[in-house]
Amino acid sequence: MTVPVDSPAPEPAPTEKAEPRPVCRGADVILRVCEEEGVRVAFGMPGGAILPLYDAIARGTGIRHVLVRHEQGAGHMAEGFARAGGDVGVVFATSGPGATNLVTPIANAAMDSTPLVCVTGQVATGAIGTDAFQECDIVSVTRPLVKACWQVREVEELAAVMREAFRRAREGRPGPVLVDVPRDVQEAAVAYAPPAAAPDPDRDLTTAPAGEAAVAAAARALEGAARPILYVGGGTVNADAAPRLRELAERAGVPVVTTLMAKGVLPEDHELCFGCPGMHGGKWANWALNMADLIVAVGARFDDRVTGRVEEFAPAAAVAHLDIDPREIGKVRHADYPLLGPLPDSLARIEAELRQPPDCGAWVEQLRGWRRRFPLRYDERSPALKPQRVVQRLGELLADRDEVIWTTGVGQHQMWAMQYVECRRPRAFLTSGGHGTMGFGLPAAIGARAARPEATVVCIDGDGSFQMTAQELATAVAADLPVIVVILDNGGLGMVRQWQTMFYEERLSAARLGGPVDCATVARGFGALGFTVASEAALERAMAEALASGRTAVLDVLVEPDEALYPMIEPGAAAVDVVEYER
């Protein structure tokens, strides 16, 4: 029996020949299915209830296991692996605290539509419900967060459930799933056979393509628009729809704004790319979105950080909403032209249906004028090392590298990275969007390096975010997955300080981190390189040494401690009411 189950447990796949099946243990079944599904790397930490699985790893598998220092780090590494490489991330954890330590990355993956398969150990079936040591009903804990979850109590069902887990994680809108396996089920013997057919990663039967009438209506609306805008979200990246998006934008001549999660889906030096709107996006991008007469939303969900006060968001615009998830269409903003279905298909069909592209020349020129009039600004005359300049200089120092992946934590540094890092390809900027998880940046960078070992992986972090998962430096060093962490160290929780300064009459509470932490020394303690940086010249020298070393390195960059982040839309304000930096 497999309990609880969101949907009936799938039947074991029949074999083509009635030959004797090899007998193995349940733990071996977990690994064999992972291998069949193309898993190359898994992240995890052993413990009592998951030891049979780790014994199976010791007995032999083609999957590389990366031993982490905390299960939250494992989850974020799996997210970074999935988002950088475009495949499912896999996590192993024990019962009780091992499983509950995965809740934050599971919630993060759910909000950002990242496919994860989380396998947790559980106490033996006979002990379930007795409050046994490290027992936790992780299925009930995670059910509101995952696409599906199972507790497998019969070893004969394990292979089918594992295959279903991978299918559910990938299909439709990607997301996390969880399979909880009691220890005795992992140890039980079972006759095992591979599936009759190899899994097809591109198979997706969850959503039928949009109808011809819906596509035609959206195309006619685009043809007739005077101020159309393509508002592109992270779903476009997840669907590998960037080429189709670019083809439609160029064919129609329509400007593009991208959410934080879609940064790089259109090269940011492209003439039609106008960057990120939202609470800390460019004023020109917010005005472009809010003054459009047609918004073509592609894999975007009208997040509150983009819309501001919803009732005043883009009042003159009709909306064409393309998405794979029916729950998103019309959830926040009414969709005049709903197109449910796979994004590459929807984009290609709209382009094919266009008879006469809209005349967007004057509209695009107006957006360029706004961008020239309202550029990103900060005090460049200050003798202090400004965080904005640090991020700009990093981009310049890495401009000649073929492939760079950027990750971030959450806070002011995240938004400065959004503003000043220029990305030219999708899956090159990995950050925690919907859940806003501090500590995401370093482990996500390690996962990204595991997925794309040829890339240079740089984490732009804050000292607050860094200290939440700094122990994973040991993972990067031990696993030989070198990353470079650049900490914009302002000695506190910068975003908290800014909000308290702006909205709480400068009553600062718990905004400073107390005594200074020497992050460079911390890095050296974990076996990484560590540099303390207090000038732009020192930044250049440290970055050159870090790149040349091929080792994990931390650059603790001491920046202006009271620097505020602009532009900013105040909470509850309309998205056009952008507060800019003033000298």
Whether residue 571 has a cis bond before it, omega within 30° of 0 = no
Least confident of 189-203, 375-389, 427-441: 189-203
Res. 514 pLDDT band, cuts 50 70 90: confident
| Residues whose CB is less than 8 angstroms from the CB of residue 28 and which lie 6 or more positions away in sequence, other chains included | 56, 59, 192
Angle at 45 between CA 41 and CA 48, to 5 degrees: 130
| pLDDT at residue 136 is higher than 50 | yes
Encode pLDDT of 379-421 as tens digits: 998 889 999 999 999 999 999 998 999 999 999 999 999 999 9
542-572, pLDDT tens digit by residue?
999 999 999 999 999 999 999 999 999 998 8
Q: What's the pLDDT band for 582 if we cut at 50, 70, 90?
A: confident
For the chain, the residue count is: 583
Pairing of strands 294-298, 318-323: parallel
> Span 479-500, mean pLDDT?
96
Q: Kindly provide the b/e burial profile for residues 22-31, where b requires at least 16 CB atoms within 10 angstroms of the residue's own CB.
A: eebbbbbbbb
The per-residue pLDDT for range 19-48, each reduced to its tens digit, is 556 789 999 999 999 999 999 999 999 999
- pLDDT tier at 52 (50, 70, 90 boundaries)? very high
Cβ atoms of residues 352 and 209 within 8 Å: no
**Alpha-carbon span 295 to 358, nearest angstrom:** 13
Q: Which stretches of 415-476 are assigned E, i.e. beta strand?
A: 429-430, 456-462
Angle, CA 233 vertex, CA 409 and CA 238 arms, to 5°: 80
Q: Taking the chain, what is the end-to-end CA distance rounded to the nearest angstrom?
A: 67
Nearest residue to 56 (alpha-carbon basis) of 190, 196, 199: 190
Domains for the chain: give ranges and CATH numbers.
2-191 (3.40.50.970), 212-373 (3.40.50.1220), 387-565 (3.40.50.970)
User: Which among 262, 285, 306, 511 is positioned nearest to 411, based on CA atoms?
Assistant: 511
Rounded average pLDDT over 85-94:
97
Q: Does residue 82 carry a pLDDT above 60?
A: yes
CA distance 569 to 572: 8
Amino acid 210: pLDDT: 80
Contacts of 37 (CB under 8 A, 6+ apart): 88, 163, 166, 199
Average pLDDT over residues 196-213: 69
pLDDT in the model for residue 21: 62
Beta-strand ranges (E) seen in 71-202 are 89-93, 116-122, 148-152, 176-182, 189-191
Residue 162 contacts residue 30 (beta carbons within 8 Å) = yes
Amino acid letter at 72? Answer: Q
Residue 515: predicted pLDDT: 76
The mean pLDDT value of the chain amounts to 94
Give the pair of three-digit tokens for residue 467: 């200290």
- d(CA 293, CA 361) in angstroms, rounded, equals 15
